[in-house]
């Protein structure tokens, strides 16, 4: 088992970040066998469909090329003459080129590797090192490529020999036919042989693609320590934190953001639940739940409260009790009046500089209103 630079065996699968970083450097999942199979099949398939029209176009081009008119002798223009001849076969040839081009693009697209990566063109010292080059040629990867080439030649050669041997009598009989029928039959045999051989290429690709997936996973494998280091690095990334804050903020709609901004207090779990309460004397008959949420929404509520200067207090039992007994827009459960009134009184005293954090009250939640994180009564 390979050891990582940071120590420890690379027993873990590469993380999405490791795969993304490798792709930026040009280390992507690719299979030349799949690309070859798709390009050959696309080209042969297009010829099978448009072959007769292409033969007719070539025949017309040759006929016109060997035919001389009086104008060609008096005022001969090689460029114009050549352009006229090529115009007739331009469309069939362009069709073949387009089909093979799309097939070449389809290969990396099927493997999820389609895209332009400037890092792949960056100069690498390992590519200029003769020792590294010899290692690639005579190493394990070189041996694998050699075996693949031998298998490919053997398989395709066997298919070709079998196709010719199976139709040997028909091939010999072509000499007894006219030129046009013989050429047509020969063309059909050629197309069929190529299609079967292209199928053989897909068989090889079906073996090569899983092998490439396994090799890349092994090459990019990580140790447990590397995963821990990556996690720490990501957690401390300002970009990632900014993205998390944006996603959290986007989870709240406009009315909820306004409600949180106008809330009297936010009571938290402290991380899994958050409820925003509003109580305006003379307006609200009792404290009202203006916003509530769990996990990402709870984090968004806390973030928005910090931005708007709304007091955030950690009372886990009370936060769960309000969350599981009241919905947004409802007043708090009657059994929680005393606890909520105590919290609000403390908040009002702090806002009027009559109390500090050291004076935070201890509250109790009625036993029949105590819930765990799953909403089950304790």
- Domains of the chain (ranges, CATH numbers): 28-219 (no CATH), 250-369 (3.40.1690.10)
Q: Can you list the positions of beta strands (E) in the chain?
A: 265-268, 273-278, 288-294, 312-314
Predicted confidence pLDDT, tens digits, the chain (378 residues): 444 444 457 777 887 778 787 777 777 888 888 888 899 899 888 888 887 777 777 777 877 777 766 666 666 667 777 777 777 777 778 888 898 899 889 888 888 877 666 555 555 555 555 665 566 666 677 777 788 788 888 888 888 888 888 888 887 787 777 777 777 777 788 888 888 888 888 888 888 888 888 888 888 888 777 777 777 666 555 665 556 555 555 556 667 888 888 899 999 987 789 999 999 888 888 999 999 988 888 888 888 888 888 999 999 999 999 999 999 889 999 999 999 999 999 999 988 888 887 888 898 999 999 998 888 887
Mean residue pLDDT of the chain comes to: 80
Structural tokens at position 234: 């990501």
Q: Which residues contact 126 (CB under 8 A, 6 or more apart)?
A: 132
Alpha carbons 62 and 56: distance in angstroms, whole number: 10
Please name every residue paired with 9 in a beta bridge, in sequence order, or none if there are none.
3
Burial environment of residue 203 by CB neighbours within 10 A (0 to 12, 13 to 18, 19 or more): middle
Residue-level pLDDT at 248 = 54
Q: What is the DSSP string of 115-160?
A: S--GGGGS--HHHH-HHHHHHHHHSHHHHHHHHHHHHHHHHHHHHH
Residue-level pLDDT at 1 = 44
Residue-level pLDDT at 126 = 54
Cβ atoms within 10 Å, residue 60: 13
Query: 237-283, pLDDT tens digit by residue?
Result: 566 555 655 555 555 666 788 888 889 999 998 778 999 999 988 88
Residue-level pLDDT at 121 = 53
Place of tokens 């030349």: 32
Burial readout 170-191 (b: 16 or more C-beta within 10 A, e: otherwise):
eeeebeeeeeeeeebbeeebeb
Residue-level pLDDT at 342 = 93
Q: Are 326 and 278 within 8 A, CB to CB?
A: no
Alpha carbons 375 and 80: distance in angstroms, whole number: 84
Q: What is the DSSP string of 178-234?
A: -HHHHHHHHHHHHHHHHHHHHHHHHHHHHHHHHHHHHHHHHHT-B-HHHHHHHHHHH
Residue-level pLDDT at 3 = 46
Alpha carbons 132 and 239: distance in angstroms, whole number: 37
Q: Are 242 and 269 within 8 A, CB to CB?
A: no
């Amino acid at each position: 088992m390979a050891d990582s630079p940071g120590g420890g065996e690379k027993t873990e699968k590469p993380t999405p970040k490791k795969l993304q970083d490798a792709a930026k450097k040009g280390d992507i999942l690719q299979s030349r066998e799949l690309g070859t199979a798709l390009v050959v099949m696309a080209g042969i398939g297009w010829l099978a469909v448009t072959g007769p029209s292409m033969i007719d176009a070539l025949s017309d081009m040759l006929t016109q090329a060997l035919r001389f008119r009086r104008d060609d002798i008096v005022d001969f223009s090689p460029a114009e003459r050549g352009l006229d001849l090529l115009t007739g076969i331009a469309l069939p040839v362009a069709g073949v080129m387009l089909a093979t081009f799309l097939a070449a693009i389809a290969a990396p697209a099927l493997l999820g590797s389609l895209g332009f990566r400037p890092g792949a063109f960056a100069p690498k010292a390992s590519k200029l090192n003769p020792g590294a080059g010899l290692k690639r040629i005579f190493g394990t990867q070189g041996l694998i490529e050699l075996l693949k080439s031998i298998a490919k030649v053997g398989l395709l050669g066997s298919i070709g020999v079998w196709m010719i041997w199976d139709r040997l009598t028909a091939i010999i009989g072509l000499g007894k036919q006219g030129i046009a029928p013989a050429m047509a039959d020969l063309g059909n045999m050629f197309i069929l042989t190529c299609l079967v051989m292209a199928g053989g290429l897909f068989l090889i690709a079906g073996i090569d693609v899983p092998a490439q997936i396994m090799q890349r996973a092994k090459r990019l494998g990580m140790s447990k320590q590397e995963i821990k280091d990556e996690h720490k690095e990501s957690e401390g990334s300002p970009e990632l934190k900014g993205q998390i804050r944006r996603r959290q903020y986007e989870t709240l709609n406009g009315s909820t953001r306004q409600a949180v901004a106008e809330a009297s207090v936010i009571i938290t779990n402290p991380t899994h639940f958050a409820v925003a309460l509003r109580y305006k004397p003379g307006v609200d008959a009792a404290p009202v739940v203006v916003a509530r949420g769990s996990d990402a929404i709870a984090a968004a509520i806390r973030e928005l409260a910090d931005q708007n200067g709304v007091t955030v207090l950690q009372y886990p039992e009370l936060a769960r009790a309000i969350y599981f007994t009241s919905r947004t827009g409802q007043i708090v459960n009657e059994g929680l009046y005393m606890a909520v009134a105590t919290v609000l009184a403390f908040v009002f005293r702090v806002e009027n500089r009559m109390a500090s954090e050291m004076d935070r009250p201890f509250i109790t939640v009625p036993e029949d209103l105590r819930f765990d994180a799953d909403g089950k009564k304790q």
